[in-house]
Structure 1
């Protein structure tokens, strides 16, 4: 017993000494961080070992082969380590991921966050692929730390995530799914949050996630540190920065040239080509670069599907892949991993791949369709020539797009070189496409959808100097896709329809008035009720006579004939004397002032719709309050300007107070809703106590990434039970045989069937 007690005392003493040593190291690091001058020390920090970071983080960086610092890392890591809010921009492929992951891990270490402290760091990413990439880098550099990390994205099982997300210290996710967990997940508390990272903030806003981001920020404590990384400084990004950042340090936003700069090792080319020759040139390009890694951008997913299916059938001799937003989550992940590991492959994709994703060693980026703006061009070509590697890009421009697009690129100091197409290398696949569409109805339908989606993508573009939908050769383009003719296109929406929908009906009626000021109604466009349609039928006389009399319809042809029987439930109009001055004025405004008032919503609502206090005199005539107020009382209260300012200030204060109260009420309702849901879940657990093992949390030190990423709804819903079922006793199944079972989704397409075959062959 004495020896055991002595060993226990020695281990306790060793732990105390270890903790004391760690605290001393953290204290030294904190002193070094406080002495940092970001301007002076920017040149001295060239390697990660020069930074004041812990040994575990440095070891994770070394094991992952991260040695030298990039420009954005030199500027931003030292600022973020000091605890300041940061608003940074940098060229694509410059290493922004490590620029916020390292300060985030160090912040959690210095604040002594443990696995029992809940959510301490939150990273928001616009796309699932980028979120997965950030999570993978996090697990690599944080492998020697003990924080728990989780990944939440759309397309995965929400129930699976809800059971585990409350135990995560670091959470990486897309805006929609993170917002959903903050609203619905009971155990997800944010009171201990230390850092928020908004990666590609401009892309998040462009994709329509503003509402979700506002909801996320509303759930977080104001004492957090926020790092915002954005490629452009639009007004929406600046508004977001004002709402979420406190006195931020700005890095890399001194000029538009720095924001839109392309990698220096990138060779940029463009070709001038008619619309109906794009697929022929793309096929010829792929055939002449069979040993290259190619990324091809289209403007819509239907074009990606058509190009992938047709080229795959024609077999160019290189591995073909596709990636777009509406594809299955598991398929998107598999495609991302396959293309990253491939030596030679061709990926057809939409702009979902244009931001942040790091595909190693891409040789060519081909833009079949013109990008919507310069920023999109920069992000597309930025997939190649990353981190100083060599890369090339090719942009296909229509004759109507060439001058305007090159002018916009030149304004940002981007000047791609013109490339000639050799006729001997150009091959036409138009006969093969026509044969495919003739024999395969599904392929023809896919071609029609690709045709329509391309026209719609051009129509909705804002820059009409570059994108001219009227100059597109419809018949030639349809023929190049193998279609027998150009499909009819019906484009819903648009700016004109939106303005017409929001326009005032009264003003539209006035605009259709004739010279006498009378509004002529179009009976064909007049809304019809159920009864109007009923009496337009040819067999309307089969209805009862009394019902027709009720609606005012006479069965007799002789209208002058009077009958008391036809007066059942009918109302006869009485003659009234109408005075012209009592009639409303429906004439067209005769003066510019009247016209302006009629067209202005603000001016027209000034006289009606707003409540006004009135006072009645002895004769019962209504007057505003100020008309019956005595002059002495008015003068005593001050001049009109001061009274107006006092009234406005008073109402503003009341509105601000009401706004604060409304926000507090909404917050209390959310908390009460969470509390009730927590009580219900607790009651359900107490009623149904299971002996099942608790599944371990994914930690940075021992991350089971494949299991988390490949989890689907069909794999499991409930935790496994320790107790064997009654039918398990009769089955003698070896554990080795069970380990070899491969669970896969049911194949729906030919691509899924090929993937299933390859996995079965590997197993």
Structure 2
């Protein structure tokens, strides 16, 4: 285990990263490395296999991608290049977040990426592969489909990266991951990042890695004691109406609204603006300059509401945010903790409100499992939905029945079923 200490490099430049990558990090608002970056970047740069325990929000994408981007930056680039790095992610959301980060980190070295996701037309993905890529970020199922079609080859991959390995196993991808790993040639560098290193994760990693260095960082901080959390059950069609009601109740406050996608952020910000609210937005379609201008307007009180997506919200460091409203719940429960951590800072109180529709019920259950408590329900609003509450109750009953059935089957690992 690599010990985590307070000594060592305090700046990215001390980690040996190149000037173009350092410039990109400055554009992203990154000032100093996080603990996982301090631990992992030197090991990745030294070509070691790494098994890392790190939660979402700890800076793990930069920890594994910055040295990889640096390594491939000096390689010649030609049309039709096959990928040198492969990142596997369990969900579309995480894959898109990783891609956005990689493009931001590699913008001055022209890092070419392709995101391979199921559920959408594969044509544009194949076209991008044909033009040549350096890094492929993929969910396992779509990658396997495209490998079998001959649309992508893994023959030149030097860096195999598994992100959220524990979640990959939870979703039943263990055989897919092994299939993919068997087709990435050795010698290679294999990096495995996971929120927890369970025996199943260790077993998977051991088949793919050689003499891996193990590093670990602490999980995200607990929710502040003086933070008032609430969940409001509402049909999707009425979410915007409820949001407007809440903002009108909080005219003297400063509110941060989170959406799951940039499309939703654009839509919500536009609708709030049409209703006369002073609103700004930061999402992937905004340039860095536009994001900074929106953030400064929020800090200076020129706008009262800022609509943001998770991936671009990391530079938000404002002490007097009174409310955080989760317009859409994040797919990753850890992101909820990071979102609501934007309020109740510096000893101040704060309110975090989750708007939960039927589509958000699985995410709400994941959040409550992570927090080990149920969020208090607020039903004193005109859009309260008993149907959503019933859906949550049914989901909880089904989970209890599955757990009971599992106990009756004995102690067999769920990976074997």
Which TM bucket (shorter chain)?
A: 0.5 to 0.7
Match of 2:221 among 236, 245, 261: 261
1:160 to 2:124 alignment: yes
Provide the TM-score with structure 1 as the length reference: 0.38
Contact residue 51 and residue 213 of structure 2 kept, 8 A: yes
1:288 to 2:273 alignment: no
1:120 to 2:84 alignment: yes
Paired residues in the alignment total 358
Match of 1:221 among 180, 185, 201: 185
- RMSD across aligned positions (CA): 5.3
Measure the CA separation in 1 of the matches of 2:103 and 2:63. Answer: 15
Aligned to 1:104: 68
Match of 1:381 among 308, 331, 337: 337
Measure the CA separation in 1 of the matches of 2:117 and 2:202. Answer: 26
Map residues 472-511 of structure 1 onto 2, 5 A cutoff.
494=402
Q: 1:243 to 1:65 in 2, by over 3 A?
A: same
1:429 to 2:381 alignment: yes
What is the CA distance between 1:273 and its match in structure 2?
9.5
Measure the CA separation in 1 of the matches of 2:95 and 2:88. Answer: 8
Measure the CA separation in 2 of the matches of 1:238 and 1:393. Answer: 39
Measure the CA separation in 1 of the matches of 2:51 and 2:58. Answer: 16
1:459 to 2:397 alignment: yes
Contact residue 42 and residue 75 of structure 1 kept, 8 A: no
Instruction: Name the SS for the 1:205 alignment partner.
Output: helix
Measure the CA separation in 2 of the matches of 1:91 and 1:498. Answer: 27
Q: 1:334 to 1:451 in 2, by over 3 A?
A: farther
List gaps (5 residues or longer) in structure 2.
Answer: 299-303, 355-366, 410-417
What is the CA distance between 1:212 and its match in structure 2?
3.2
Map residues 610-625 of structure 1 onto 2, 5 A cutoff.
none
Q: 1:100 to 1:282 in 2, by over 3 A?
A: same
Measure the CA separation in 2 of the matches of 1:460 and 1:150. Answer: 38
What is the CA distance between 1:155 and its match in structure 2?
4.1
1:180 to 2:145 alignment: yes
Q: 1:113 to 1:83 in 2, by over 3 A?
A: farther
Higher strand share: 2
Aligned to 1:169: 134
What is the CA distance between 1:345 and its match in structure 2?
5.2
Measure the CA separation in 2 of the matches of 1:238 and 1:48. Answer: 30
Deviations 1:281-338 (A, max 9, x none): 99975543354013499xxxxxx9xxx9xx99xx8969899xxxxxxxxxx9889x99
Aligned to 1:585: none
What is the CA distance between 1:192 and its match in structure 2?
1.6
Greater radius of gyration (CA): 1
Q: 1:213 to 1:71 in 2, by over 3 A?
A: same
Map residues 172-321 of structure 1 onto 2, 5 A cutoff.
172-184=137-149, 186-252=150-216, 258-259=218-219, 261-262=221-222, 269-270=227-228, 286-290=247-251, 291-295=254-258
Q: 1:358 to 1:96 in 2, by over 3 A?
A: farther
Measure the CA separation in 2 of the matches of 1:347 and 1:148. Answer: 29
What is the CA distance between 1:220 and its match in structure 2?
1.5
Contact residue 93 and residue 358 of structure 1 kept, 8 A: no
Instruction: Name the SS for the 1:154 alignment partner.
Output: coil
Measure the CA separation in 2 of the matches of 1:296 and 1:169. Answer: 30
What is the CA distance between 1:78 and its match in structure 2?
0.6
Instruction: Name the SS for the 2:187 alignment partner.
Output: coil
Instruction: Name the SS for the 1:250 alignment partner.
Output: strand
Q: 1:294 to 1:496 in 2, by over 3 A?
A: same
Contact residue 53 and residue 195 of structure 2 kept, 8 A: yes
Measure the CA separation in 1 of the matches of 2:184 and 2:284. Answer: 30
Q: 1:498 to 1:369 in 2, by over 3 A?
A: farther
Measure the CA separation in 2 of the matches of 1:149 and 1:347. Answer: 27
Whose relative contact order is higher, 1 or 2, with alpha carbons under 8 Å and at least 6 apart? 2
What is the CA distance between 1:76 and its match in structure 2?
0.9
Instruction: Name the SS for the 1:259 alignment partner.
Output: coil
What is the CA distance between 1:144 and its match in structure 2?
2.8
